[in-house]
Amino acid sequence: MSHKENQEKAELSIYEQSLKAARAKGGEARRNVARLSGDARPFDRPDILITAEGGNRIIGIEHFRVDHHIGKGKKAESKSARFSSDAERFRKQHEDAACRDALAEEAYRGFGDLISRAIREQSNACVDDIRTSLDAGLFGKDGRGHAFKLDAYRENITQIDANADIRLGFLIEIHTDLRQWFLNDGFKETKVSPGQFPISCEAYELLKKASAQVDWILLAFCPLYGDEVRDAAIIRCCNGMFETSAARQGIVQTPYLGLGKETPFGRQDRQGEVEFGVGNDGVDYLIENTSGQMEAIELFNNAISGAAEALNLARKGKPFAATTSVQLAYDIAKDSLKHKNGNVGPQDVLKSIGGMDPSEKTARMQNWRKRWPADSV
């Protein structure tokens, strides 16, 4: 199978998985799957054509990938896609020896280097990199994003059927790992799972801007590595429906509170050195941590100010995502400040926590650690 055929197969798989995930959610998502129903096949610019029953309506879908781990060049190329390719090449290289239980030291060291590389790429990523990747795919720094090619896509479809009712859309495959963040949606607190992306305010605005130019936006949420779609949204954009259709599927603007939003929290200038030991029961790896140390006062001040923002958002019933330190400060202070008149400021949070009985504060922290064990955060 040629590279192009493999790519077409992968794009159709993402599309079909997205429809399946959306259909299972019911409601608006399920209704929009029905609206997109038809015969889907690969095409060249746009990537997928869907011919509706009766054949008069043709929906052209252009696919592109958005990543949490990206290079810093103009194209914001995917580091996670490159890592997946390198890891698969490594697997094929050593697969035969592994089956014979005859792996050489080179293989063990190479696997450790892959682990260290993955740690560094995660440490050097921030939430805003997802927005950067999305912007590059939709618009691009030099106006070469997919949003500027829609007229060409429409013209290409016209060439095969000049009388068709042509609709256009984007299939955006989003790969993320935000497991260090908490999501507060107004009803409950949960850890963000790999592949889950509560849409940041900045990313939402980009999607809203693009929605004015297309009829559909399909969001396929995937973990960093692999091609499994864990969740999806099928958003109608025609007639100004984007915000309503998105909200019905839980796609709303989510502020991110804490360090690690705009710049990496644990940046590593170099990849950590690897040591390993092979025993009868497995292989033990020791990976050097090359992240710089965060100033304790900066972390504390950020937690307090973030908790104040969180309290104000929660009182308005608005969702937010928070780092561990912000979430902890918010959870400790929220009961004593929930009835405060007016906006909550950092000094209010500081006074609430500082004035709390030491035994109560200790009990709250212990309960928090039981609820969110260290291995879960």
Summarize pLDDT for 242-276 with one digit per residue, the tens.
999 999 999 999 999 999 999 998 899 999 999 99
**Mean pLDDT across the chain:** 92
Asked if 90 and 84 touch (Cβ cutoff 8 Å), the reply is no
pLDDT at 4: 86
Summarize pLDDT for 79-109 with one digit per residue, the tens.
999 999 999 999 999 999 989 988 999 999 9
Dihedral of the alpha carbons of 187, 192, 197, 199, in degrees to the nearest 10: 40
Rounded-to-integer distance, Cα 362 and Cα 370, Å: 12
Answer yes or no: is pLDDT of 138 > 60.
yes
Answer yes or no: is pLDDT of 71 > 70.
yes
pLDDT at 119: 94
Summarize pLDDT for 284-340 with one digit per residue, the tens.
999 999 998 888 899 999 999 999 999 999 999 999 999 999 999 999 999 888 888
Rounded-to-integer distance, Cα 90 and Cα 114, Å: 9
Does residue 47 sit in helix, strand or coil? coil
Handedness of CA 146, 152, 158, 163 (dihedral sign): positive
Does residue 175 sit in helix, strand or coil? strand
